[in-house]
Amino acid sequence: MTYPHKDKVKIASSYCKLLWLLQQKVERCPNVRRMPKFCSHAPDSDSVDRIFFHLSCILGYYGIYFNLMSDQPDNLTHLIEPYGLSQEEAKIYLVLIQKGFLSALSISREIRMGRTKVYRILDKLIAKRLAEQKVDDMGMKFGATDPTKFNQLIAEREHEVASLQENLPQLIENLEKISWRKHEKTKVLYYKGIEGLKQIAYNSTRADKELLTYEIVNDMSEFVGQKFAEEMRREFVKNKVFVREMTWNKKFEAYTEVTELVSKYWETRYIDPKSFRMQSEALIYNDVYVIYNPLDKEVFGVEIYNADIANMQRQLFEYIWAQAKPLKIVSPQGKAVLEE
């Protein structure tokens, strides 16, 4: 679209005034790269075309800047929500942390939310000690507390988790008493993928006193990751589960920082693959026999809950164990070698 010259002058003049207002707003914002200053009066006719072009570029700059500024609260909202705040609670908290003490009406206008709902959310923030209230000449106002209060939220959640963990054994025991599965003699559970193997590993931490294993890889961290593997080792120590491991590897490199497992709850022996070749890994504990293969393209595992099968596999393990050669543990982190 083209404009007559006199219309261009009017438009350019209006744009200059708008730019001047925008620039005043940006000048009040810290850490903003400044654009060249523009006059607030109408330009002369000789420079209209040039100004017309540059104004479109500069307005684009300011549009991007204000877009970025508006995205910042959204990014902070996503960071705050995992600490137990809803999206609406996070929005109000961010308004208060930025603006200071505000009335509920001001908050309502700021985030375009009904005042009644704002009051409800403020009550929740106050209960979480993330907001506080005061009364001045203008009435009741609300403000955000210091951000370090989030430390207290974490501490409270850690206490809640510790309490849940403490009560979990009793809960499981009581639920198992009334579960229909108690009368089920046999069941077979099938697992797929790495998450399935993690569930199998976690289930094995419930072993009563002893876990028997056939291993074809050096360490479970090779397929479930070091962090998860260390968590499982700590669970074995916590539950006092002694792990006896059969392997065809003649040595282990150091694999864990859970040194108490190595010194108190772990023994490993070597079996010559010519005598007994393991095609998959296996676990035996309680009335459970587990077989899985972490090296297949399609990772899978099967848990068989049956006392007769578990006892038969336990006898077979003990027979092979008696023929296997012990590995000597040479470091607290689990390094072990076969003494020829």
Q: Which domains does the chain have, with CATH numbers?
A: 5-76 (no CATH), 84-147 (1.10.10.10), 154-180 (no CATH), 184-338 (3.30.870.10)
Q: What is the pLDDT of residues 154-185, one digit of tens each?
A: 888 888 888 888 888 888 878 877 877 666 77
Report whether pLDDT(12) > 60. no
Q: What are the structure tokens assigned to 137, written together? A: 């000449």
Report whether pLDDT(211) > 50. yes
Give which of 124, 128, 123, 98 is closest to 111, Cα–Cα: 98
How high is the mean pLDDT of the chain? Answer: 80
Q: What is the pLDDT of residues 60-77, one digit of tens each?
A: 544 444 443 444 556 778
Question: Contacts by 291-300 with C-beta closer than 8 Å and gap 24+?
Answer: 292/191, 292/197, 292/200, 294/197, 294/217, 294/222, 294/223, 295/216, 295/217, 295/223, 298/192, 299/192, 299/193, 299/194, 299/196, 299/197, 299/223, 300/190, 300/191, 300/192, 300/193, 300/196
127-131, 159-163, 285-289: which has the highest mean pLDDT?
285-289
Tell me what the mean pLDDT of segment 2-25 comes to.
53
When pLDDT is cut at 50, 70 and 90, the band that residue 217 belongs to is confident
pTM of structure: 0.55
